[in-house]
A and B are shown apart, each in its own frame.
Chain A
Amino acid sequence: MKRTLGLLAALCATLILGCFDGSLTVRAPDESTSPDTHVDPGTADAGADIDPTINPDFPDLPCEGAACRAPEPSAPPRFTRLTHEQWENTMRDLLRLDARPNLSTNFLPDPDSAGSFNNNSAALDFTASLWDSYRVGAETLARQVATSPEALARIMPADAPDVLDARARAFIEHVGKRAYRRPLGEDEIARHLEIFAMAEQLMGEGDAFVQGVELLLRVFLQSPHFVFRSELTHSESAPVVALNAYERAAKLSFSLWSTMPDDLLFEAAAAGELDQRAGLERHARRMINDARAEDTIVDFHSQLLHFDAFRELAKDAERFPEFNADVAQAMRKEMELFIKDIIFEDEAGDLSALYLSPHSFVNAPLAAIYGLPGEFDEEFKRVDLDPRERAGLLTRLGFLSTHANAYEQSSIKRGVFVNLHVLCNQLGTIPDDIGSTEGAGGHTNRERITANTAGCGGTCHNSLINPAGFAFENYNALGRYQEVENGYPVDATGIFHFRHGTFPFQNSIEFNTLIAQSPDAHDCYTRHWFEFAYGRSPTDKDEPLIARISQASEAGLAKIRDMLVLLVVNDIFVTRSSAPTEETE
Chain B
Amino acid sequence: MKTWKAPMSRRNFLRGSAGVVMALPFLEGLVRTSPALANTQRPVYFVCLRSGNGVAQFCDPTMGAPVFEPERFWPFERGALTQEMMLRTNAQNEIRTTGELVAHRDKLLIVDGIRYSYEGRGCGHSGGGNQCLTASPPFPDDDGHASRSRPADPSVDWVIEQKMKPRINANGVNVAEPLTMAAGVIGGFIDDIISYAPPLPGQFKARVRVSERNPWQIYKSLFGNPSDVHDDLMFNKIVKQRQSVNDLLRDQLGDLRRNSGLSQADHVRLDLYQNSIFELEERMLACHLPEAEWKAIEAAGDSNAWQNASNAEPILHMMMDITALAFACDLKRAATIQIGSGADFMTYNTTGPAYQFHWVSHRIQSDGGDGDPIANADHVHYQIDRIHARWFKYLIERLDEYDTDQGTLLDNSIALWTNDVATGRMHAFHNLPVVIAGSGGGYLKQGVYVDARATATISPASLEFPPRGFVANNQLFNTILNAVGVRNDDGSPIDDFGHKGSDTRNQQPGGEIPGMKA
Q: Which residues of A contact B (CB under 8 A)?
A: 35, 75, 77-79, 81, 105-106, 108-116, 122-123, 125-133, 135, 191-192, 195, 198, 202-204, 215, 218-219, 222-225, 227-228, 230, 232, 234-236, 308, 311-312, 316, 405-407, 410, 412-413, 420, 424, 426-427, 429-430, 432-440, 445, 448-449, 452, 537, 578, 580-585
Asked whether A436 and B362 contact (CB < 8 A) given A202-B240, A581-B263, the answer is yes
Name the contact of A578 in the complex, choosing from B261, B367, B426 (C-beta under 8 A): B261
Closest to A129 in B: B221
- B116-146 vs A, CB cutoff 8 Å, 1 = contact: the mask equals 0001111110010000000000001111111
Sample of 11 A–B contacts (CB below 8 Å): A78-B261, A116-B143, A127-B210, A195-B244, A195-B248, A202-B244, A215-B241, A223-B249, A405-B371, A434-B124, A580-B261
Closest to B272 in A: A126
Alpha-carbon distance between A294 and B202 when the two chains are bound, in angstroms: 35
Contact A583 B362 (CB under 8 A): no
Chain B 410-459 interface residues, beta-carbon cutoff 8 Å to A: 425-429
Alpha-carbon distance between A312 and B346 when the two chains are bound, in angstroms: 11
- Size bracket, chain B contacts: 35 or more
B204 nearest CB across to chain A (Å): 8
A463 nearest CB across to chain B (Å): 15
Closest to A110 in B: B210
Chain B residues with Cβ below 8 Å from A133 are 217
A529 nearest CB across to chain B (Å): 14
Contact B370 A583 (CB under 8 A): no
Contact B146 A135 (CB under 8 A): no
Alpha-carbon distance between A110 and B272 when the two chains are bound, in angstroms: 15
Contact A78 B207 (CB under 8 A): no
Asked whether A131 and B280 contact (CB < 8 A) given A111-B192, A582-B202, the answer is yes
Contact B261 A420 (CB under 8 A): no
Asked whether A583 and B143 contact (CB < 8 A) given A111-B192, A128-B279, A448-B370, the answer is no
Closest to A203 in B: B241
Contact B368 A412 (CB under 8 A): yes
Contact A311 B148 (CB under 8 A): no
Question: Would you call B8 an interface residue if the criterion is a C-beta within 8 Å of the partner chain's C-beta atoms?
Answer: no
Contact A438 B373 (CB under 8 A): yes
Question: Would you call B277 an interface residue if the criterion is a C-beta within 8 Å of the partner chain's C-beta atoms?
Answer: yes
- B328-372 vs A, CB cutoff 8 Å, 1 = contact: the mask equals 000000000000000001000000000000000011111111111
Chain A residues with Cβ below 8 Å from B123 are 430
Contact B251 A430 (CB under 8 A): no
B285 nearest CB across to chain A (Å): 14
Chain B residues with Cβ below 8 Å from A203 are 241
Contact A435 B119 (CB under 8 A): no
A449 nearest CB across to chain B (Å): 7
Chain B residues with Cβ below 8 Å from A424 are 143
Contact A583 B276 (CB under 8 A): no
Chain A residues with Cβ below 8 Å from B272 are 125-127
Chain B residues with Cβ below 8 Å from A195 are 244-245, 248
Alpha-carbon distance between A202 and B218 when the two chains are bound, in angstroms: 28
Chain B residues with Cβ below 8 Å from A578 are 261
Question: Which of B202, B209, B217, B370 gathers the greatest number of chain A CB atoms within 10 Å?
Answer: B370
Which 3 pairs show the lowest CB-CB distances between chains A and B?
A131-B276, A581-B263, A437-B370
A276 nearest CB across to chain B (Å): 26
Contact B141 A224 (CB under 8 A): no
Contact A224 B252 (CB under 8 A): yes
Contact B191 A112 (CB under 8 A): yes
Contact A224 B221 (CB under 8 A): no
Alpha-carbon distance between A79 and B259 when the two chains are bound, in angstroms: 12
Contact B364 A436 (CB under 8 A): yes
Contact A437 B121 (CB under 8 A): no
Alpha-carbon distance between A132 and B150 when the two chains are bound, in angstroms: 27
B421 nearest CB across to chain A (Å): 9
Alpha-carbon distance between A222 and B362 when the two chains are bound, in angstroms: 46
Chain A residues with Cβ below 8 Å from B373 are 436, 438
Question: Would you call B237 an interface residue if the criterion is a C-beta within 8 Å of the partner chain's C-beta atoms?
Answer: yes
Alpha-carbon distance between A585 and B146 when the two chains are bound, in angstroms: 14
Contact A35 B260 (CB under 8 A): yes
Alpha-carbon distance between A439 and B244 when the two chains are bound, in angstroms: 69
Majority secondary structure of chain B interface residues (helix, strand, loop or mixed):
loop
Majority secondary structure of chain A interface residues (helix, strand, loop or mixed):
loop
Chain A residues with Cβ below 8 Å from B60 are none
Question: Would you call B36 an interface residue if the criterion is a C-beta within 8 Å of the partner chain's C-beta atoms?
Answer: no
Chain B residues with Cβ below 8 Å from A537 are 142-143
A236 nearest CB across to chain B (Å): 6
Question: Would you call B177 an interface residue if the criterion is a C-beta within 8 Å of the partner chain's C-beta atoms?
Answer: yes
Alpha-carbon distance between A215 and B245 when the two chains are bound, in angstroms: 7
Contact B259 A232 (CB under 8 A): yes
Contact A222 B249 (CB under 8 A): yes
A16 nearest CB across to chain B (Å): 28
Asked whether A78 and B252 contact (CB < 8 A) given A109-B210, A204-B237, the answer is no
Chain A residues with Cβ below 8 Å from B260 are 35, 234, 236
Chain B residues with Cβ below 8 Å from A116 are 143, 145
Alpha-carbon distance between A126 and B207 when the two chains are bound, in angstroms: 12
Question: Would you call B501 an interface residue if the criterion is a C-beta within 8 Å of the partner chain's C-beta atoms?
Answer: no
Contact A202 B141 (CB under 8 A): no
Alpha-carbon distance between A81 and B265 when the two chains are bound, in angstroms: 13
Chain B residues with Cβ below 8 Å from A125 are 197, 207, 209-210, 272
Question: Would you call B208 an interface residue if the criterion is a C-beta within 8 Å of the partner chain's C-beta atoms?
Answer: yes
Contact B259 A35 (CB under 8 A): yes
Contact B263 A112 (CB under 8 A): no
Alpha-carbon distance between A130 and B367 when the two chains are bound, in angstroms: 32
Chain A residues with Cβ below 8 Å from B429 are 432
Alpha-carbon distance between A214 and B272 when the two chains are bound, in angstroms: 26
Contact B240 A115 (CB under 8 A): no
Alpha-carbon distance between A235 and B261 when the two chains are bound, in angstroms: 8
Chain A residues with Cβ below 8 Å from B253 are 224
Contact A581 B202 (CB under 8 A): yes
Contact B237 A311 (CB under 8 A): no
Contact A432 B66 (CB under 8 A): no
Chain B 82-119 interface residues, beta-carbon cutoff 8 Å to A: 119
Closest to A202 in B: B241
Contact B177 A132 (CB under 8 A): no
Alpha-carbon distance between A427 and B370 when the two chains are bound, in angstroms: 19
Asked whether A230 and B200 contact (CB < 8 A) given A106-B217, A407-B365, A438-B363, the answer is no
Alpha-carbon distance between A434 and B369 when the two chains are bound, in angstroms: 7
Contact B221 A433 (CB under 8 A): no
Chain B 127-175 interface residues, beta-carbon cutoff 8 Å to A: 127, 140-146, 148, 150
Name the contact of B187 in the complex, choosing from A77, A215, A308, A448 (C-beta under 8 A): A308
Question: Would you call B201 an interface residue if the criterion is a C-beta within 8 Å of the partner chain's C-beta atoms?
Answer: yes
Question: Would you call B468 an interface residue if the criterion is a C-beta within 8 Å of the partner chain's C-beta atoms?
Answer: no
Chain B residues with Cβ below 8 Å from A405 are 365-368, 370-371
Chain A residues with Cβ below 8 Å from B426 are 433-435
Question: Would you call B304 an interface residue if the criterion is a C-beta within 8 Å of the partner chain's C-beta atoms?
Answer: yes
Alpha-carbon distance between A537 and B148 when the two chains are bound, in angstroms: 15
Question: Would you call B16 an interface residue if the criterion is a C-beta within 8 Å of the partner chain's C-beta atoms?
Answer: no
Alpha-carbon distance between A483 and B244 when the two chains are bound, in angstroms: 70
Asked whether A437 and B273 contact (CB < 8 A) given A108-B210, A123-B207, A128-B221, the answer is no
Alpha-carbon distance between A115 and B244 when the two chains are bound, in angstroms: 39
Contact B368 A115 (CB under 8 A): no
Contact B187 A234 (CB under 8 A): no
Alpha-carbon distance between A585 and B143 when the two chains are bound, in angstroms: 10
Contact A135 B242 (CB under 8 A): yes
Contact A581 B276 (CB under 8 A): no
Closest to B116 in A: A432
Name the contact of A126 in the complex, choosing from B120, B240, B245, B273 (C-beta under 8 A): B273
Chain B residues with Cβ below 8 Å from A106 are 214, 217, 301, 304
Alpha-carbon distance between A225 and B252 when the two chains are bound, in angstroms: 8
Contact A112 B148 (CB under 8 A): yes
A526 nearest CB across to chain B (Å): 14
Contact A432 B427 (CB under 8 A): yes
Chain B residues with Cβ below 8 Å from A222 are 245, 249
Chain B residues with Cβ below 8 Å from A430 are 122-123, 146
Alpha-carbon distance between A215 and B241 when the two chains are bound, in angstroms: 8
A202 nearest CB across to chain B (Å): 5
Chain A residues with Cβ below 8 Å from B345 are 312
